[in-house]
Every structure is written in C-alpha cells, then in structure tokens.
Structure 1
Amino acid sequence: MKIVLLSGGSGKRLWPLSNDARSKQFLRVLETSTGERISMLQRVWDQLAAEGFRQDSCIATSKGQVDMIQSQIGSEAEIVIEPEKRDTFPAIALAASYLYSMKDMPLDEVMIVMPVDPFVEQPFFNRLRKLERVVQTSGADLALLGVLPTYPSEKYGYIVPKNMEDNISDYLQVHSFREKPREEEAAKMIRQGALWNCGVFAFRLGFIIDMLIERKLPIHYEEAVRQYGRFLKTSFDYEVVEKTERIVVMPYDGEWKDLGTWNTLTEEIASPLIGKGTLSPDSQNTHVINELDIPVTAIGVSNLIIAASPDGILVSDKEASPRIKELLNSDELRPMVEERRWGRYRVLDFLKYEDGQEVLTKRICIQAGKNLSYQYHHKRKEVWTVIAGSGEMILDGHYRRITTGDVIVIPAQSKHSLKAATDMEIIEVQTGTELVEEDIVRLAMHWEEILQFCFI
C-alpha cells in the first residue's frame, strides 16, 4: 500500500495568516501535549509515523510549496512535484505515474489518496489498512472512506450508499453523491445513511494507469511532467469518482474535521491568544492570533476572530468568517511572509514608481547550517546587509566569509549563494522591474554541489 497526500490550496479562507505561498496546512497554530505549536501537515506526518506509514507515503504538491514542506517535516519526505497547478485529477495521475515508473509499484498494489490536512485522531489511520483490504476483496474499482456525520453540515459533500440497513460487511455499495446540500436536505440524507465525503480514495494502481493509457496520456513520470499541460484540469471527484460504476464506501465512526475556516480552526486552538496582545476576561469565545511585532488588544468582544500578519488584519464574527473568500481580490495580494527549507523571510516594504521601477525590502532569516540555492536574477539588483550572524558566500564563483555589518551588492545576472554558520538575519533591498519570486534561476541546491562553482 502506498499513501499519496495531496497538498494544495490557495489560502484564502484563513487570510491573513494563509496566502498563495502559505496554505492552511502550514500554519503553526495547533498545540501538542507538550505545548509545542505545530501545523496540520506536521500533525498528520507524525500520525502517519505512529502508524508505521511514513516510509510508504509521499506528498503531491506544486513547486511553490516544496520549500515549506521541507522546512516543516524535513528533506527526507518524498515529494511529487507538479510542474504547474492544475487540479486533483492531474495531481493524482502524476503521482500514479511516479509510483509506477520511478518506484516500480506493482499494478495490483493499492494506492490511497488523502488530503494532507485532515484533523483526525489516530484510529483514522488504522482504518486505512482496512480500506486497503476492501479494495482487494470487494471487486470494486474504487473504495472511499465516509465519515458518519455528527450534524447536517452544508459545508461538506455527501456519499449516499445503497441499502445501508441490509449491510453486514465493512463496506457499502455507493448509490450517488451530493455536493454541499442545504441543511434540511442534509438532515434527510443523514437519516437515510449518507456519509460525509472526507476526500479519501483507494484503488489499485492499475486502475489509474489503464485510464491514462486509454486516454493516450503518458504513464512514465518524466514524460508526464513534460506533457502535464495535456492532463485535463479537473477534480478527481468529477473526472473519476462520479463516473465509476463499481464503487464502495467504508464508514468511519470517529472524529474528523476540515479546519478550513476560522470558525472551525479556532475550535481546535487551545490558547485564545497567540502572539503579542491582550484579551480581556469578558471577551468570550474570541481568538486573537497575531504575527506582528505590535500588540493587539481586544476588550469586551465575543465570538470574534482577530488575525494579524504582514499580509493584513482580519476582524470578523466567527460564523461570518468564511465570507472572506468572497471579499478578497487575490490578484491584489502579494504574500508578505514565506517559510522556506532554509528559514523564512518577511517583506518589510514595497514601492512602485511611475517609471516602472520597484523597490522591495525583505528581512531574511537563515537557519544555521542551511543554505540558499546558487541562483541569479534577470530583472533585479540586490543589496544585502548582514544584521546578525555569520556565514560563507559565493558570488560569481568568488568565495568569501561574511558577518554582522557586511554589505554585499549583487548585480542582476550575478550568480550567488550563502550558507549560514550561525543563525543569520539579512536585510535585502531589491531594485528593478517585476520583483517577483519567479525571477529566480537556480543552478544548484546543495552546498557541496555549489562549491564546485567556486574558483577562488
């Protein structure tokens, strides 16, 4: 059995803490029993390890999330990288081609696909073993995991089984699907045995490989990456699940939540105040989550979410908070903070002049022992001022040591990299046109490889 975790999302519903670069699964707002704050990704990765599944798991994601994933769970995690964002059907197809051609997974072995960020307890992962057996014994092409609902939610999709009352096995035949019904309809469906669709699919690898062959799509990973634009940009639910006839569902009676909105996420946040600030005792069911260096104070207010980050500030009634997705214009939003495999950065200031010139100022934090890639930029010049720590740098093949107080000028097209000997902080000022993260040409990632570019 192989498990594929789908990591995606635009980050709109948990703005301003989440954004296009930092989706909900990366927010470190959950607490362990020891009080450590971890993300949904870290929690699920630890749960997989506890069940003995980590070595059989990989993460399917876009290029923009790779650094964040490696920063939070380490570089040993196996990652299947989409060359561009499309949807869950092409992402799952790409992962299948990877397991088939790069990992030599047999066609009759079971592949389980699940979101990277469900809020569940450990028994949920034990059910994945049973789901594997259902695929092997039921004769179905697809087996789903369906959660027994605890209330008639309008936010979830539903799986409607056939003849639930007559079933004595671990699984049910699926009759139909219903996406986000109204509360009255959801209540009626629950009385008839409907289950929440938690986005977990299981099938033999050959089921997807045969589908790709039939559609004349590549089944070898490297070719699938090259031809990724040919894969239909659609969801796996729509393209595969709803069109499959032999499909079963295994009920799961346990805790499951989609922590995708502020009102659901705050139900699982132990502390009502995270970050600098004050919350008065008469503020009931109010959460303040503050990533800024200035304090936030809330007095006598109830049922609110107050979230502040470099991207913006949100003050909302908790029940109304899902409407943020409708109000945001994502085209105007530039992520102001990002976590990378080497550390993190925060945008301090951004200016754009009438002549098209731009100036962007960042505070970059690099962890001891970590390094930036060996890279260059087409459209910008950079000036680095080291404000803390020390390390070693290569600029156009020239090696030098740098420390607190040093100022380094990096012209456009100049190849450069840096490795931190101690934790480092750098103020970076970019000048040029189109100051975007995409203007990076990476030549090497690992320091041992980068040193080969050094001639002095």
Structure 2
Amino acid sequence: MRIILLSGGSGKRLWPLSNDYRSKQFIKVMAAQDYSEVVQTSMIQRVWAKLKEHGLAQYAVIAASKAQQEIIQSQIGHEVPLVLEPSRKDTFPAICLASSFLSSEMKVDADEVIVVMPVDVDADDSFFASIKQLAIQFNDTVGNLGLMGLKPTQPSEKFGYILAGAVHEQSELLQIDRFVEKPSAEEAAALINQGALWNCGVFAFRLQYMLDLLKAGSWPADYGSLQLQYADLPSISFDYQVVERERNILVYPYDGQWSDLGTWDEWTETMPQHLNGKGIISDDSVNTYIINELQIPVVVMGITDAIVAASPDGILVIDRASSPRLKDLVQPLSMRPMYEETEYGWYRVIDEEHQPDGRQIVTKRVHIWAGKQISYHKHEFRDEIWTFIGGTAEVLVNERRLHAKAGDVIHIPAGSKHAIKAIDPVNLIEVQIGDHISESDICRYEYDWDERK
C-alpha cells in the first residue's frame, strides 16, 4: 500500500486567512492533538501526525504545487517525499505525476494498491483505520477503482453523492450504480433517504491502472519525462476524468468523524475556545468567534452567531450561517499575500506605498528561526534595507561576511548578492524600494556557509 496525499491549491473559503499561498490546510487555528497543550496546529500537521500513529507515514508522498514546498517543509519537516507540480493544475494531472513518481523514482510494484486522499481533512482514528481497510479489501477484488463513501450527516449541496448497489463478492465493498454531482438540498435529502454516500475524495487503484491511463493518453509514465510534458496534461479533476467514466468501480462505506472544514462555520466547530488571538468577546455575544492574527485587539459586543477573522490580508465579519457563500463574494479580491510562512520562518507585510515618482516601497517584518537561512540571491529592480530588531546573524553581501545584531542597519543595493543565516532567532524590518517590486524578481545562487568559514 502507498498513499498519495493531495495538497490542494489556493482557496478563499476561509478568507482572509486562506489565500493563493496559504491554503486552509496550513492555517494554525486548530487545537493540538493533546487538548491540554496551548499549541495550535494546522490540518496538514494533524493528518501527518495521524498517519505516523497508524504506521502509514512511511508509505506516503505529498503532491503539491511548488509554491507550497516551503510551508509544507516548515510544518512537517523534510522527511516526506514531495511531488511538486511544475505548474498548478487539477487533481487528475497531480495524481498522474505522483503515480509516475512512485513507479519510476520509488520503484513501487505495478500491482501495489495506491490510496489517494486529501490532506485537508479533520478525521478521527477510525478514518485512518478505514484507509487501511479500503486498501486491503480493494486488493482482494478485481475492481479497477475503489472509493470511500462517507455516510452523510446532513443534506449538503457541496458534495457529490454515491448510490451503491449490491455487496461486491465477499468484501465490505459495494458496487456503485451511479453518481450525482452536488445536488440541491432537496435532492440531497431524497438521495440520503435512498442510502446515498458522500464522495469524500478518497480513491484506491493499482499503480498499473494509472500507468495504463497515461499510456492511453500518449503521456509518458517516466517521472522526469512527465514533468517536462506536464503542460500537456488536461487541467481537470480526477472525478471528471476518471471516476465518472469508470464502470468497474466499488465503494467502501465509512460511518465516522470526517469533515473537510470547508467553511468558517465548520471550522469554528473544531475550536476549543471562542477567542483566538488578541481581543474581547462580551458575554452577550453568544456563539461568536474571533480569529485574530493581528497585533491589535478585536472587540465584539452584542453580536450573536458571528465570526470575526482578522489577518494581514483583510478583516471579515460574517454571520455563521452565511459562511458557505463567502468564496463567491470575495472571489474578485486579488492581491499579494500579506503574510507567508516559509522554510526559514515567516514574514508579514506591514505597509505598501506608491510614490509620486513611480517608486514602490514595501515594508516587511521578517522572522528567521535559529539555524535557518535565506538563500544567496539578488534582486535586479529593488534595494533592500535590513534593520535588525532582535537576535544575531551572519549576513553575506557580495561574498563579504558580516555579523549583525539588534540595532544594526544594512543597505543592500539592487543587483547585490545577499544572504542571511540566523545564529539565534532573528527579527528584522525589511524595507524594499524600487521601480518594480515583485516576488519573481530574484536570481538564486549556491553558497555553502560551512565550507567558506
């Protein structure tokens, strides 16, 4: 058995905390597994911890976009193999690429059962035990594709529904009769009365099945070659491209805790406390939550059944029942993320300014963890000014090494190569000044700090 964890792309269902760079699986507002701890964790951290508990992490790879590499490694370490999409597409091409990686890079046998699951789920131990059972029971069948079907808890419009028939052979798997994609609430209620299950995005197949699909599409099964031709793969979901076209398909019913936490209303149900971050909620604000990532307090008084979320990207005040409609409302909003978690630490944009002469000024607060570094690089179109407010670090500017501490100011002109390595945790203010400021304005270089002491 092998597992492909799908780390989805951008999302605005949990705006302003989620954006193009920080999808919901990376947001740290969930309680730790041990509720006596005050540490908050993300969905990907909880899922990875559960996989470890059930002895499954060693069989897993994560399929993600390149933009997510740093935050994944920041949150769960470098031990997990990453399959990075050359460009952001959909679940079908991502599963194709991960399957080719398992085959040509990890030399997984073609008859091995592969289970695909999303990384952004909130589930208990029974779900991860069922992942194992799906693989075991599917392996004993001649089915081409297996799904996990979740017993619905309500007539939801955001899920696809599975109508199953007779039990397949001697297993607990059921033969699938048909699918109904995201019906109305009234239709969903009728489907539930017929015993329909939710399609929760968990698939099982033998590796050869995906290799055959690649061959049928005239795409290479070799991982390196498929990376080069990734743009040729259709940007389409696995459900549309594969599941709905397959006839020899089975489902494993699951009746237990599971949620994709796709709305703020669902998310707040998992929070052990109503106040998260600086703020005050009055006693008459019943069933109201504050999620505040800012350093200023948020005060809510006399408002019931509401959610107030504040981050560097924006401020949301929403009625809990309206949260499923948030994505459509904020879809037109498009701006650079004001907060990003990285492999070296994190940064928060404090201010952006456009001068009358056309120059841009961006001010960031940057935190670098002890022992971590920002790689050796240069920018062609902007100067940077680093003001150190805490910690000590080694700084490299055009091959010259400097020691920096709180109170030091370093000016890095455009075109200058520079890097920094934190000796202990570093906090600095970075001011970027230039005619064109863009995250794409970067050229990286190799530098070994240990070899060049």
Class of the TM-score when normalised by the shorter of the 2 chains? over 0.9
Out of 274, 290, 293, the position equivalent to 2:292 is: 290
Equivalent residue in structure 1 for 2:76, among 73, 78, 87? 73
Which residue of structure 2 aligns with residue 268 of structure 1?
270
CA deviation digits over 1:421-440, x for unaligned, max 9? 01101111111234222222
Shift of 1:248: 0.3
Q: Name the CA distance, whole Å, in 2 between partners of 1:404 and 1:330.
A: 41
Cα contact 1:380–1:431 (8 A) shared by 2: yes
Answering whether residue 211 of structure 2 is matched by residue 209 of structure 1, we say yes
Counterparts of residues 26-425 of structure 1 (less than 5 Å): 26-32=26-32, 33-35=35-37, 36-163=39-166, 169-330=171-332, 332-425=334-427
Decide whether the 8 Å contact of 1:13 with 1:261 is kept in 2. yes
- Output the amino acid matched with 2:285: S
Taking a change above 3 Å as real, the CA distance of residues 384 and 304 of structure 1, as seen in their structure-2 partners, is same
Q: How far did residue 80 of structure 1 move?
A: 0.8
Q: What amino acid does structure 2 have at the position aligned with 1:19?
A: N
After TM superposition, give the deviation of residue 34 of structure 1 in Å: 2.3
C-alpha deviation, 1:331, in angstroms: 5.4
Describe the shift of the 1:56–1:407 C-alpha distance in structure 2 as closer, same or farther (beyond 3 A): same
Structure 2 residue matching 1:263: 3-state secondary structure: helix
Pairwise CA distance, 1:330: 4.8
Give me the whole-angstrom Cα distance separating, in 1, the residues matched to 2:90 and 2:449: 35
Match of 1:319, SS state, is: helix
Task: Give the conservation status (yes or no) of the 8 Å contact 1:134–1:143.
Answer: no
SS at match of 1:373: strand
Q: Which deviates the most, 233-242 or 397-406?
A: 397-406
| Preserved CA contact (<8 Å) 1:289 1:308 | yes
- Note closer, same or farther for the CA distance 1:169–1:136 as it changes in structure 2 (3 Å cut): closer
Instruction: Tell me whether 243-252 or 373-382 shows the greater mean CA deviation.
Output: 373-382
Distance in structure 2 (CA, Å) of the matches to 1:142 and 1:399: 57
Q: Distance in 2 between matches of 1:212 and 1:296?
A: 52
Aligned length: 450
SS at match of 1:111: strand
Q: How far 1:142 sits from its partner (Å)?
A: 0.5
Q: Give distance in 2, aligned partners of 1:450 and 1:90.
A: 38
Q: What is the root-mean-square deviation in Å for CA atoms of aligned residues?
A: 1.7
1:346 alignment partner, SS class: strand
CA offsets 1:269-316 (integer angstroms, 9 cap, x no match): 111001111001111110011111111111111000000111110001
Quick check: 2:365–2:428 contact (8 Å CA) kept in 1? Answer: yes
After superposing on structure 2, the runs of 4+ consecutive aligned residues of structure 1 that deviate more than 6 Å are: none
Q: Deviations over 1:353-401 (max 9, x none)?
A: 3554211110000011111112222322211111111011222222221
State the one-letter code of the partner of 1:183. Answer: A
Tell me the equivalent position of 2:19: 19
Unaligned runs of 5+ in 1: none
Q: Deviations 1:189-209 (Å, cap 9, x if unpaired)?
A: 112121011100110111011
Structure 1: which amino acid aligns with 2:133?
K
Structure-2 separation of matches of 1:352 and 1:3: 48
Distance 1:344 1:387 in 2: 15
TM-score, normalised via structure 2 length:
0.96
In 1, the alpha carbon distance for the partners of 2:415 and 2:4 equals 38
Q: Which stretch has the larger CA shift, 45-54 or 366-375?
A: 366-375
Q: Which region of structure 1 is more displaced relative to structure 2, 130-139 or 143-152?
A: 130-139
**Aligned partner of residue 373 in structure 2, secondary structure:** coil
Q: Normalising by the residue count of structure 1, what TM-score does the alignment of the two structures yield?
A: 0.95
| Identity across matched positions, percent | 48
Corresponding residue for residue 431 of structure 1: 433
Q: Residue 352 of structure 1: CA displacement? A: 2.2
Structure 2 residue identity aligned to 1:200? V
Aligned AA for 1:104? K
Tell me the amino acid that sits aligned with residue 258 of structure 2: W
Counterpart of 2:75 in 1: which secondary structure? helix
| Whole-angstrom distance in 2 between the partners of 1:68 and 1:152 | 35
User: Does structure 1 conserve the Cα–Cα contact (< 8 Å) formed by 2:12 and 2:331?
Assistant: no
For the Cα contact (< 8 Å) 2:9–2:88, is it kept in 1? no
Q: Where in structure 2 are there 5+ consecutive unaligned residues?
A: none
AA paired with 2:300?
A
The answer (yes or no) to whether the contact 2:9–2:64 under 8 Å persists in 1 is: no
Contact 1:135 1:204 in 2 (8 A): no
Amino acid at match of 2:11: G
More displaced 10-residue stretch of structure 1: 354-363 or 255-264:
354-363
Q: CA deviation at 1:167?
A: 8.4
